[in-house]
Structure 1
Amino acid sequence: MHNIVNVTDKVYWIGANDRKTERFENYMPLPMGVAYNSYVLVDEKTCLIDTVEFGVEGLFMEKLEEALDGRDLDYIIVNHMEPDHSGALRDVMKKYPNAQIVGNNKTFPMIKAFFHDADESKFFVIKEGDILDLGHHKLTFAMVPMVHWPESMVTYDTTEKILFSNDAFGSFGALNGGIFDDEVNFDHYEDEMRRYYSNIVGKYGMQVQNAIKKLGGLEIKYICPSHGILWRSDVAKVIRHFDYWSRLEPEAEGVVIVYGSMYGNTAKMANAIATELGKQGIKEVKVYDASKTDHSFIISDIWKYKGLIIGSCSHNNAVYPKVQPLLHKLQNYTLKNRYLGIFGNMMWSGGGVRGIEAFSDALNGLEVIADPVEAKGNPTKEDYEKLELIAQRMAEKLKEDRA
């Protein structure tokens, strides 16, 4: 078998790497691509767990046929109906019409919504804790609603202690060679895993925490997610990462400065703050122009670092249009456990700084570390001194936490 990879003796990875699609969900860039993971268990009964996105289903179908090696398919487990997991489901149902479709009571209305002609006589409804007996392998199921759709569930192989974890513990990034954590350099994937979590699942931290608690009693030897690398050598590492991120706890001492500037004055202010942070000994400083860098990368670093400083020029008496969506998403995700600095620029009535203050007021978990600074036009000497004070206060806070 040349196109498929053994997870264990009779469990196969038949996923597909996508290096062509430019944007996940048509808005998040994929500079490193993405893997759509699918799995087949070949036992007395055969079982497919999830499919792949439209566009890569051709290779996937070849792999599925190769893994089955002439056998029919008995079961198709649908952990999640989002099209990046179910895009090839129609093709599989047509090629293997005898297969039963396994899902929970929220799965099947979604299948009918996507595939109106789906054969309901093939629907096999399971509930939490039910057992699907394949022969040697016994599969059971746990519901993880809103991680990150209402029907989301995970499948657990009680025989070989494999957790087929759906979107939990997943990552952006195509699989370049090895598929397991001990076959790759995790440092190459870590930022993409955080970007995946913070932008896809980040709003549902409480639900992720509930899922981690629910799965905590299981013996897990393998974690097989729907995207990204598979885990077998250091399962605890990926669980720790998702536990930390879902509690919105920063990983590192550092500061993200993000700003919106039309004519460069707000950019000057951002650079002044960054320079002073460097003088204060803060080595991890990321400065982002919100008009240039895709917000998914900015949000990933906001998840990573304790310090956040946001600046905006005034635009039609409001926050700059390229900063506002970022604030909206962070508010929607109920960002917390961060130190916040605020600055901006105006000419007459303002609005940029006022809008950032309103964002801060709407969240209880952000600590504003100094008075906001709002310059008029080209920043003055006094403005720069106030900006340096923001940097100094931020450095003090981070150093206190270090101690």
Structure 2
Amino acid sequence: MTARALVLGALSLGATTLRGPLRARDTELMAAGLRAMGCHVSTSDENLWVLRPRPLCGPARIDVGTAGTVLRFLPPVAGLADGAVTFDGDERSRTRPVAPLIGALRTLGARVDYGAGLPLTVHGIGRVTGGAATIDASASSQMLSGLLLAAPEFDRGLTVRHAGPPLPRAPHLRMTVQMLRAAGAGIDDSRPDMWVVEPGRLNGRAWDIEPDLLGAAPFLAAALVTGGTVTVAGWPRSGIQAGHRLLDLLHQMGGSPAVTRQGLVVRGTGTVRGLTADLADVAELAPVLAALAAVADSPSHLHGLAHLGAHETDRLAALVEGLTGLGADIAQDHDGLRIRPRPLRGGTFPTRDDHRLAQAAAVVGLAVGGVRLDDVTCTAKTLPDFPRLWSTMVHGPGSVGGQD
């Protein structure tokens, strides 16, 4: 929501405010990328960010880090800038899927210098013709979201069709559509795998950013592993995030979730049940659910995850490596993981600079002594305060977060 609100604000008339934004490496990189193209983005207040749009311009250089949202949301925006905008990022980002997006941008009238990966340069002329395009976004729905977010500013709007395997993470696309409508866009998504966006100006507005429900997953999983109770304050009773499905998945694995006046309360018994589930729409939950499955009392099959090979790291292979190193019986199949219960042991879990892997290892560490993360700083990608929050939850206020 924070990333989308920033992009919509940059393309709107009037100021945009974000109340309760997610401050993390990914969102800071998004704000920095928009600043590089001339937008005024104030993030000095932790709880209220303010964006005032200005004419987009280059030359500019944008660091995408490992943020898929920056990599795929900002090139279409750069097509609307006057001047060259160059994108580069961390080593892993140089191989992440983006070619279908570049092909669609070229079809729509943008000039892009692109080889087999980053860096890439968008040579903006202050406008994008727009029109019709076809894209295979099966590797990442973010490519479609990137086109849709910028489409109201295209001269002819956008008619885009997805042609390829079923889209992963469809709830994230629904979030994009709902936020576009809230900003005043005319968008029709009534036909399967097709979106039509009318040309027109967006309106700056105030956004109330929901709590990060996916980011809450490792904390709620802790209740199941320990037989304790965890409360996440401010949990919305309804909303536009895919994370709402987490409650049903935790219930299937033995937890008792309830939304109360205090927030979401999850109680565990200390016994975790195995899970068979298609996680295509909530793939970000796979690492934490795999960690729970590794300490469960029955087998699990997590599937619909073939696209995880192109995330910050190859998450399926990384989970197999990390959990096998702790003694788990885990195997990768064509689109997921099969996990069978077996006693685990301590050891070092390689996080591969992936925030979700670090969170998964932390969950296993609640049930198995001697689990050590080789790097916990990678959690800053989406939750910089993770070490402190985790230590406070486990040990109480005043504890100091570390890698053990």
Instruction: Using structure 2 for the length normalisation, give the TM-score.
Output: 0.28
Computing the radius of gyration from Cα coordinates, the structure with the larger value is: 1
Instruction: Using structure 1 for the length normalisation, give the TM-score.
Output: 0.28
